[in-house]
Each structure stands twice: as structure tokens, then as C-alpha cells.
Amino acid sequence: MLVNQFQSSTSSTSHSGKNTSHSGSSVGRVVRVIAVTGGKGGVGKTNVSINLSIALAQLKQRVLLLDADLGLANIDVLLGLKAERNLEEVLAGSCDLQDIMLTGPQGIQIIPASSGTQSMVRLGQQEHAGLIQAFSDMADNIDVLIVDTAAGISDSVLSFIRASQEVLVVVCDEPSSITDAYALIKVLNKNYGIDTFRILVNQTQSDKEGIALYRRLMSTTDKFLDVMLRYEGDIPYDEFVRKAVRKQKAVLDVYPKSDAAKAFMRLAKKVLEWRVASTPSGHLQFFVEQLVNSGR
């Protein structure tokens, strides 16, 4: 199907990411693309991705959540959903992108990951163009794409982050979390020129703890890197989060009045205040092209 999409498509894209010719109403449709990452596992990154997506949906945004954790994909499990198909089948041409999407709380759309997702960075020209077209065809129905990356600094993690417009780094009050977050920021800055990162502190005991942790990270980056860290707030430690996880639900969905749920809504409102790119990087197909080209 991807080959057929390529053959029927009249759009073409240069390696620089600039659109050279297009057809269809989705052209120029600006979509926020946000990578949620953390450097270290166990900081609550996927929980943030899910609840941020739901909060944005409650704010009337049409949200697509991409499970980009190629090794330990678990968004569907955390939400009690069953993925019948995955992206590997889309690449094989046995179904369309829309066929694999799951519907989550508040109507968010979810693209489940699979081991076959790794082939995204090894596509041929026809498959490359077809996948770009498959995503860009969805642009009219999406306002925000949330990309939940894996932990660490593997090639696939870096590829997803580099393709996104915004990088939201989730940290918590553990020495290894700060160390790994710094390592991630360093690689993205030194090797790929990314110079702006948004920081979210998770599982805090107080607002002061979140700010202190942010300042600790910033003091290190200020010494050794030429980057800008923007503090986006904190998510408090909340037993209702654990209760929601046990129920395979999002805390914002089942405990909307909890402290954590309120914090996710504050974060979502901040996200909507972020400046939206009007350059080619604001197009959904540009995200996929960057993702594919990063593996070449």
C-alpha cells in the first residue's frame, strides 16, 4: 500500500526538508510535534506522554500519540488497550496507517509500536515517500503529535527527537536521572545542534523541589554546553497515579481532581502557548522525512 501511495502521490520532498511540490489540503498544515524523552528509564516519561495527550484533548486539541519505544512499547498496555496491528504491517503494505490506530481516552489516537518499527530508518525511496504521504494525509485531522521515546541515547531515540519540533525532557530527583538527562542533552547539542530543551520535573514533593532540580541541571549545562533550558513546571508525587496505573487507566481520566491531574492540565495549557513553527518543520510530513533520513 505504501508503494501505491507513493505512485499516486504528486508530492515530492527534498533532503533538506523543504517542500518542492505538493497537492492536497494537508499541505502547509502546521502540527505541533513534541518528543517526550528522559535519558533514563523509570522517570515516568510514558505516563507524562499519555496524560499530556489526554489533557490536550480536553483542551479541544486533536492528538496523535506515537509509541516510539521500540524495545519496550507499553502505551497500549498502560491504557488497557489491545493492539491488533502495528506499524510493521503498514510498512509491509498489508494495511493503512489508519487501520492500526487505537482510540484512547478523550478520543486521542494512538499508533502502537512494534519491533518492526525499526525499519522506519531503513526504508527505500518508494516506502519513504509513501510513509510521508500516509502521515501527511492525516495532517488535517491532527493538531498535536506526541512522540513517546524510549529511554537512553540509542540511534532510534535520537532519530525521533531530532525529527520533532520540541524536546520535553522528563527528570526526577535521582542522581542518575540528572546524569542521564545531561548526557542526552549533550549528545543532541554537540552532535546535532539542538540548543533548546524544555524540562519537566516529575514526582516532586513540592514546587521548590522541582525548581531546585531544574537549577541543578541548568548549572551543569551552563558550564559545559551552549543550550537553553526552559522550565515547564513539575508533576507532584501522587498516590492516585499509582492507583490509575493499577487500573490500566490514565490519572487524568479516572482521578481528574487529583493533584497530578491538575498539574498535567497546567502543562497542557503551557504547551498551547509554545510558538508553533511556520517553517517546513511545522509540517507533519517533515517529521517523518527527518525521521527516515536520520537513518541514512
Domain membership flag for residue 166 = yes
195-228: buried (b, 16+ CB within 10 Å) or exposed (e) per residue?
eebbbbbbbbeeeebbeebbeebbebbeeebebe
Q: Write down the pLDDT at residue 134.
A: 65
**One-letter-per-residue 3-state SS of 122-145:** HCCHHHHHHHHHHHHCCHHHCCEE
Domain membership flag for residue 70 = yes
Spell out the residues 6+ positions from residue 87 whose beta carbon is closer than 8 angstroms to its own: 97, 100, 111, 112, 113, 114, 116, 117, 120
Strand order of the sheet with strand 63-68? 102-103, 109-111, 63-68, 144-149, 32-37, 166-171, 196-204, 228-236
Domain membership flag for residue 251 = no
Q: DSSP strand E in the chain: where?
A: 12-13, 19-21, 32-37, 63-68, 102-103, 109-111, 144-149, 166-171, 196-204, 228-236
Q: Write down the pLDDT at residue 40.
A: 80
Question: Strand pairing of 144-149 and 63-68?
Answer: parallel
Domain membership flag for residue 75 = yes
What three-state secondary structure class fits 64? strand
Domain membership flag for residue 255 = no
Tracing cell 494537508 back to the chain, one arrives at: 26
d(CA 47, CA 78): 8
Do 214 and 246 touch, CB atoms closer than 8 A?
no
**CATH number of the domain that 213 lies in?**
3.40.50.300
Residue 164 lies in domain: 31-235+261-293
pLDDT in tens, the chain (296 residues): 433 332 333 333 333 333 333 334 444 568 899 999 998 888 999 999 999 999 999 999 999 998 887 667 788 889 999 888 876 677 667 888 888 899 999 999 998 876 444 555 455 555 555 566 666 677 778 999 999 998 888 887 888 898 889 999 999 999 999 999 999 999 999 999 999 999 999 999 999 999 999 999 999 999 999 999 999 999 999 999 999 999 999 999 999 999 999 999 999 999 999 988 666 555 676 787 777 776 55
Domain membership flag for residue 11 = no
Domain membership flag for residue 26 = no
Domain membership flag for residue 7 = no
Number of domains in the chain: 1
